[in-house]
A and B are shown apart, each in its own frame.
Chain A
Amino acid sequence: MVRRVRKRTRTRVQNTGNDYTFAGEYTDSYGPIPETVEAVKKGLDEIFSCCSDFIMREISCGKDGLTRILVAYINGFVDKRVLNQDVVHPILDFLSNTEPGNSSHIYERLKECIVVNNDIKEANDLQQAVDGIVSGEALIFINGESKALVIGVKAPQGRQVKEPETEISIRGAKEAFVENLLTNTTLIRKRIKNPNLKLEMMQLGKQTKTDVCICYINGIANEQIVNEVRERLKKINIDSILDVGIIEQYISDSRLSLFPTVGNSEKCDKLAGKLLEGRIAIFCDGTPNVLTVPYLFIESIQNTDDYYDHAYFATFIRLLRFMALLLSNMLPGMYVALVSFHQTVIPFKLMITLAASRQGIPFSPFVEALLMIIVFELMREAGVRMPKPMGQALSIVGAIVLGEASVAAGIASNLMVIIVAITAICSFVVPPLVRATMLIRFVILVAANILGFLGISFVVVAVFAHLCRLRSFGIPYMAPFSPITSSDLKDSLVVVPIWAMVTRPKILRQEYAQGPKGTERQGGNEQQ
């Protein structure tokens, strides 16, 4: 999509033959602000040609109507009532009581006391003015000045804060992030009332100029990782950032890996927890998901509910999730290996059941498994994309037609349907790894069909080797297991009660492994 946008831009540039150049270096400069209202008007008109939502109004005011002011903004983007009440009205009031003449005096007065709104910036050249306008601010220009006021009167937009749709939890906050960046940062600030919560704003995307915000807690987050995040974000050089997922792909350590090395969440309490552990969040305007780095393997089986409930249950559920992860990867492969290679290890009675269920199936177990898994993946994808009211139809088709009928028709065995069902259920237990699991499952299936258990073990060894090699922002992906970090094991497969979990993840405080040599080790001190 990015490429398409870029292409379109290029054609537009060529057609209109505009004076700003695009090729290679895209220069964003429109020069200084001209000193007369007419010139400014002309300039803005040119820049915003064919922009029907751009509104510009010239007001002649003052006692004799000699002071001319230009108000420019984008319709719908700013809150007009606020603009009128807090900006235009006070200015008109003030000017009607002032003597005309010294306009710089007027400018200072306006800036310092007349305009009620607090969010006032100064634009020193046309570029800053335009940037302000396109990001929803109102421009006030006074005739005779070489500067203009940019006033933040952005109308609250987007949907309300709602319950999360993808990360469901039983206990804990029900607030999820929305598309609006400021709403999102406020949600975090609400939870961490501390000036050490730093929010560094930057704009990415040459065309979209998307606001991106790095969020971390000063003193808890590893300074080296924060720097690395900054560096990596700065290096992103593309036209558009429409979703945080695009950033994710650019900043991942291992861009070709199947496994996610950048986490994302839409739950505020989860994100607050991650920040307090020393992780760094990346907000992106227009996306209800927030990235967290570094992201380790163990995080995919962690859930906020684990910390709100008793440690016994949390431990049990963790182990269950881990088992589900293994099962969803390996179950179809194991089944195929068992029935086509290692019949010897099947107990006699089970063997008869297996053989009976396989009787009359024209396909080999491998083909059968492949068919059923692909059918399931199709149904899953359809279920995700389908409009909600049609979901019921899909479940009927899935459950009855594909499950029952394929068995009745003798295309798949009962057992295979059960296996695919278990695999599917298990894969949903660990949502962050659903995609990786989906592909590894096929690899294991193929390996099982070629070499049986031996093949499965080869794939598993390869995957584990890869996982141990993987790093997320310099932090070993498999920590705390590899390297073994004893103090972090308390929140791994076994969860200790929250009152015993007194230290922050130590691995996040370690020296950034790929950072510049000779840098001071950031204090590995833990929470007191």
Chain B
Amino acid sequence: MKCGNSKKIIFVIMAALLPVFPVLLAGCWNNRDLTEINIVAGIGLERTEEGKILLTIQVVEPGAIQSSSDKGKSGGQQQKPVFVESSEGETVFEAVRGLLSVIDKKLFFSTAQVLILGERLSQEGIEEAMDFFHRDHEFDYEMNILVAKGATPKEILEIESDIDSIPAVYINSTVENTVSRGTVKKTMLINLIKDMGGNEKQLAVGQISKAGEKSVRTEGTAVFRDGKLAGWLDPYETRGYLFAVDEIESAIINVHTDNGKIAMEIIRSKGKINVAFENGEPSALNIKVKVEANVGEYQGKGKLEASEDLDVLRGLLEDEIKKEIRMAVEKVQEEYHSDIFGFGTYVRKYHPKYWKKSGNNWLAIFSELPVDIQVDAKIMRTGIVKSPVN
């Protein structure tokens, strides 16, 4: 009996000590209430003319959003659903801490939906500034990254959208929409981390610009070379680029025929790239794309009855896609000298010896290689009618 008791006491003490260990183990834990944090929805990063970091944050005021949903009740002054604050600093972290002297509560970054990079920062190189976002545990790896064109990140974050009360959410949704059109490169923080640093694939980040006082447009792509902004791709070039790197979810491609215009809806697309080698030297860049499309609209008087008609249409569609891809490849080869397609990754993977020898020189080699583009299209359906109604 006595022995059992002492055993029991030891067990109780052990059990009581058990929860103490994790307290020591847990490196970063804190009990903070939702009311004690500022929910950050969007972040903007820009470099000032003096070379400092300018950090802009968009913070949600939950109370205002709640009260805006039951409008009419509160006849008084409407509280703004978000507020935007900026802070300068030598480093990003310093700027973050600098914000704390402006605002009331701790910043909570996990909810950040978008990170908007300024044009000047991008031109001078983003890699240094991005380190904080990789290092800190609080950032959501699925946060969208965009490069602002023609406006500073602050200007974009300060828009008062009628569409969604939180501009960052609005921006995020437009990115998702544009992805389904295939005209913006969607880059998440995790993608950026993966592609940064190496020289086998250059960064390509979505582009954002102001479309008006209250709206933004997320279309196009910012092309980087060695972490510095090299130039832009327009929406069509972007689409060509996305076809090649297999990131098209769906797209509408207009095909011009003698009888009128046909809008083709891409429903499935598969892109593949590789580099052809001859005698141990790269000889050509190959891009192979397979698409499946439906006829979405036919403005004109042509016929779509026989399979020959569809064959013709198919050829036209292939040419159209080929044209867009070529536009993109030629632009990055000739103007930007930046391998955003990731041909370098292929070379490093399948021709490591060659890569070891001349990997450092890859961008120059890439820019000189001829390009071979093959597009294989399939037309699945023509909709409810075949030929246009006359």
Q: Which residues of A contact B (CB under 8 A)?
A: 339-341, 343-344, 348, 351-361, 364-365, 447, 449-452, 454-455, 458, 462
* Contact in complex: A340, B62 (CB < 8 Å): no
The B14-57 residues at the A interface (CB cut-off 8 A) are: 15, 18-19, 22-23, 26, 29-35, 37, 39, 41
- Residues of B within 8 A of A (CB-CB), count: 29
- Nearest residue, chain A, Cβ from B111: A348
Q: How far is the CA of A209 from the CA of B110 in the complex (A)?
A: 69
* Contact in complex: A356, B111 (CB < 8 Å): no
- Nearest residue, chain B, Cβ from A462: B15
* Contact in complex: B113, A343 (CB < 8 Å): no
- Nearest residue, chain B, Cβ from A414: B66
Quick one: which of A344, A348, A355, A452 contacts B34, CB cutoff 8 A?
A: A355
Q: Does B332 contact A (CB under 8 A)?
A: no
* Contact in complex: B31, A449 (CB < 8 Å): yes
Q: With A348-B113, A451-B23 given, is the CB distance from A356 to B33 under 8 Å?
A: no
Q: How far is the CA of A352 from the CA of B165 in the complex (A)?
A: 12
Q: How far is the CA of A357 from the CA of B35 in the complex (A)?
A: 9
Q: With A340-B32, A341-B31, A354-B34 given, is the CB distance from A454 to B65 under 8 Å?
A: no
Output the residue of B29, B33, B34, B63 with the most chain A CB within 10 A: B34
Q: How far is the CA of A451 from the CA of B21 in the complex (A)?
A: 11
Q: Does B336 contact A (CB under 8 A)?
A: no
* Contact in complex: A348, B62 (CB < 8 Å): no
User: What residues of B have a CB within 8 angstroms of the CB of A355 in the complex?
Assistant: 34-35, 37, 39, 60, 62
Minimum Cβ distance to chain A for residue B71 (Å): 15
* Contact in complex: B63, A360 (CB < 8 Å): yes
Quick one: which of A353, A364, A451, A462 contacts B33, CB cutoff 8 A?
A: A364
Q: With A355-B39, A358-B33 given, is the CB distance from A343 to B110 under 8 Å?
A: yes
Q: How far is the CA of A100 from the CA of B266 in the complex (A)?
A: 121
* Contact in complex: B39, A365 (CB < 8 Å): no
* Contact in complex: A344, B113 (CB < 8 Å): no
Q: Does B94 contact A (CB under 8 A)?
A: no
Instruction: Convert B164-188 into 0s and 1s, putting 1 for each residue whose CB lies closer than 8 angstroms to a CB of A.
Output: 0010010000000000000000000
Q: How far is the CA of A119 from the CA of B18 in the complex (A)?
A: 64
The B157-207 residues at the A interface (CB cut-off 8 A) are: 166, 169
User: What residues of A have a CB within 8 angstroms of the CB of B34 in the complex?
Assistant: 339-340, 343, 351, 354-355, 358, 365
Quick one: which of A356, A365, A454 contacts B26, CB cutoff 8 A?
A: A454
Q: How far is the CA of A458 from the CA of B22 in the complex (A)?
A: 10
* Contact in complex: A343, B37 (CB < 8 Å): yes
Q: How far is the CA of A450 from the CA of B20 in the complex (A)?
A: 11
Q: Does B93 contact A (CB under 8 A)?
A: no
Minimum Cβ distance to chain B for residue A311 (Å): 41
Q: How far is the CA of A447 from the CA of B22 in the complex (A)?
A: 12
Q: Which residues of B contact A (CB under 8 A)?
A: 15, 18-19, 22-23, 26, 29-35, 37, 39, 41, 60, 62-63, 65-66, 108, 110-111, 113, 138, 140, 166, 169
Question: 18 extra interchain contacts, Cβ-Cβ under 8 A, other than A451-B23, A452-B31?
Answer: A339-B33, A340-B32, A343-B34, A343-B110, A343-B111, A352-B39, A352-B60, A352-B166, A354-B34, A354-B62, A356-B65, A356-B66, A358-B35, A364-B33, A365-B33, A447-B19, A450-B31, A451-B26
User: What residues of A have a CB within 8 angstroms of the CB of B62 in the complex?
Assistant: 352-356, 359
User: What residues of B have a CB within 8 angstroms of the CB of A358 in the complex?
Assistant: 33-35
Q: With A351-B39, A359-B62 given, is the CB distance from A340 to B23 under 8 Å?
A: no
User: What residues of A have a CB within 8 angstroms of the CB of B63 in the complex?
Assistant: 356, 359-360
Minimum Cβ distance to chain A for residue B311 (Å): 48
Output the residue of B26, B35, B62, B166 with the most chain A CB within 10 A: B35
User: What residues of A have a CB within 8 angstroms of the CB of B108 in the complex?
Assistant: 343
Minimum Cβ distance to chain A for residue B337 (Å): 39
- Nearest residue, chain B, Cβ from A339: B34
Q: How far is the CA of A311 from the CA of B50 in the complex (A)?
A: 75
Minimum Cβ distance to chain B for residue A355 (Å): 4
Q: How far is the CA of A450 from the CA of B23 in the complex (A)?
A: 9
User: What residues of A have a CB within 8 angstroms of the CB of B39 in the complex?
Assistant: 351-352, 355
* Contact in complex: A352, B31 (CB < 8 Å): no
Output the residue of A351, A365, A455, A462 with the most chain B CB within 10 A: A351
Q: How far is the CA of A357 from the CA of B39 in the complex (A)?
A: 14
Q: How far is the CA of A449 from the CA of B29 in the complex (A)?
A: 12
User: What residues of B have a CB within 8 angstroms of the CB of A364 in the complex?
Assistant: 33
Minimum Cβ distance to chain B for residue A348 (Å): 5
User: What residues of B have a CB within 8 angstroms of the CB of A447 in the complex?
Assistant: 19
Q: With A344-B110, A354-B34, A365-B33 given, is the CB distance from A458 to B65 under 8 Å?
A: no
Minimum Cβ distance to chain B for residue A454 (Å): 6
Q: How far is the CA of A358 from the CA of B39 in the complex (A)?
A: 13
User: What residues of A have a CB within 8 angstroms of the CB of B31 in the complex?
Assistant: 340-341, 449-450, 452
Q: How far is the CA of A356 from the CA of B19 in the complex (A)?
A: 33
Q: With A358-B34, A359-B35 given, is the CB distance from A452 to B60 under 8 Å?
A: no
Minimum Cβ distance to chain A for residue B368 (Å): 46
* Contact in complex: A451, B19 (CB < 8 Å): yes
* Contact in complex: A458, B29 (CB < 8 Å): no
Minimum Cβ distance to chain B for residue A391 (Å): 34
User: What residues of B have a CB within 8 angstroms of the CB of A452 in the complex?
Assistant: 29, 31
User: What residues of B have a CB within 8 angstroms of the CB of A353 in the complex?
Assistant: 62, 66
Q: How far is the CA of A454 from the CA of B32 in the complex (A)?
A: 16
- Nearest residue, chain A, Cβ from B32: A340
Minimum Cβ distance to chain A for residue B108 (Å): 6
Minimum Cβ distance to chain A for residue B168 (Å): 9
User: What residues of B have a CB within 8 angstroms of the CB of A340 in the complex?
Assistant: 31-34
Quick one: which of B19, B30, B32, B169 contacts A348, CB cutoff 8 A?
A: B169
Q: With A344-B110, A355-B62 given, is the CB distance from A451 to B37 under 8 Å?
A: no
Minimum Cβ distance to chain A for residue B39 (Å): 6
User: What residues of B have a CB within 8 angstroms of the CB of A449 in the complex?
Assistant: 31
- Nearest residue, chain B, Cβ from A461: B18
* Contact in complex: B110, A451 (CB < 8 Å): no
Q: How far is the CA of A124 from the CA of B229 in the complex (A)?
A: 113
- Nearest residue, chain A, Cβ from B38: A355
User: What residues of B have a CB within 8 angstroms of the CB of A344 in the complex?
Assistant: 110, 138, 140
User: What residues of A have a CB within 8 angstroms of the CB of B169 in the complex?
Assistant: 348
Minimum Cβ distance to chain B for residue A183 (Å): 44
* Contact in complex: A351, B111 (CB < 8 Å): yes
Q: How far is the CA of A353 from the CA of B165 in the complex (A)?
A: 13
User: What residues of A have a CB within 8 angstroms of the CB of B37 in the complex?
Assistant: 343, 355
User: What residues of A have a CB within 8 angstroms of the CB of B66 in the complex?
Assistant: 353, 356-357, 359
- Nearest residue, chain A, Cβ from B169: A348
Q: How far is the CA of A447 from the CA of B20 in the complex (A)?
A: 12
Minimum Cβ distance to chain B for residue A362 (Å): 9
Q: How far is the CA of A218 from the CA of B110 in the complex (A)?
A: 66
User: What residues of A have a CB within 8 angstroms of the CB of B30 in the complex?
Assistant: 341
Minimum Cβ distance to chain A for residue B295 (Å): 38
Minimum Cβ distance to chain B for residue A170 (Å): 40
Minimum Cβ distance to chain A for residue B38 (Å): 10
5 A-B pairs with CB atoms under 8 Å apart are: A340-B33, A341-B30, A354-B62, A454-B26, A462-B15
